[in-house]
Amino acid sequence: MAIRNIRKDTDEILRKKSREVKSIDNKIRELVLDMLDTMYKNDGVGLAAPQVGMLKRIIVYDIGDGPKVMINPVITKCSGKQSEEEGCLSSPNVFGIVDRPAVVHVKAFDIDGKEISVKAKELEAIVICHETDHLDGVLFLDKAYNLYTATPEEIAAAKEESKKEVSKNSRKKKTNKRKTK
Ligand code: ZN
């Protein structure tokens, strides 16, 4: 396992469309593990393969209940609307509000090649939409409004605040403020 370099939003690879994974071999499994390592190392809640320079349709995320892997994810149904603040590991310190569906239904394959169906809402729905957008070369910056760049002090304060929240009640649902994908 290894930490991979995260591509920044000026990198044109992030504007390309990722290709479907044809077979889940050792190379793909290694990439998935590296993506998880890289996401955790950077305090992200989600990561898409193009963010580490691989144009493959793979996303990983962890909204606080363990690592999730989706290979060739397809959103089959969306409903409702939610508007929350988002950030992105490829756009450090930039945040903005994005309108997303409230609920998404997704079909994908897990790391063992088993087909999975997920109905996601709240933060999980946001993360899945944000990450699957990456697979089509779309960045949250394209959709966000009220964009701003947080100062290092604000970032540090937000991290402290979320640490306190987690230690206060580790089961309490985490806020999705300042979570970078
Ligand atoms: Zn992102």
Interval between CA 66 and ligand 1 midpoint (Å):
19
In the predicted structure, residue 90 carries a pLDDT above the cut 90:
yes
Query: For 56-85, how does the pLDDT look when each residue is reduced to its tens digit (9 = 90+)?
Result: 999 999 999 999 999 999 999 999 999 999
In the predicted structure, residue 152 carries a pLDDT above the cut 60:
yes
- Burial of 38: CB neighbours in 10 Å, binned 0-12, 13-18, 19+: buried
Query: For 160-181, how does the pLDDT look when each residue is reduced to its tens digit (9 = 90+)?
Result: 887 665 554 444 444 445 667 7
What pLDDT score does 178 carry?
61
- The two tokens of residue 23 are 């077979």
What pLDDT score does 146 carry?
97
Is residue 22 within 8 A of residue 12, CB to CB? The reply is no
Average pLDDT rounded to a whole number, residues 13-23: 98
97: helix, strand or coil: strand
Interval between CA 163 and ligand 1 midpoint (Å):
22
Which residues, including other chains, have CB under 8 Å from residue 61's CB and lie 6 or more apart? 39, 45, 46, 47, 67, 68, 124, 127, 128, 131, 181
pLDDT more than 70, % of the chain: 91
Is residue 140 within 8 A of residue 156, CB to CB? The reply is no
Interval between CA 181 and ligand 1 midpoint (Å):
4
What pLDDT score does 161 carry?
80
Interval between CA 116 and ligand 1 midpoint (Å):
23
Q: CB neighbours (10 Å) of residue 72?
A: 19
Query: For 97-141, how does the pLDDT look when each residue is reduced to its tens digit (9 = 90+)?
Result: 999 999 999 999 999 999 999 999 999 999 999 999 999 999 999
Phi and psi dihedrals of 107, rounded to 5?
-115, 140
Residue numbers annotated as active site = 131
pTM equals 0.89
What pLDDT score does 174 carry?
42
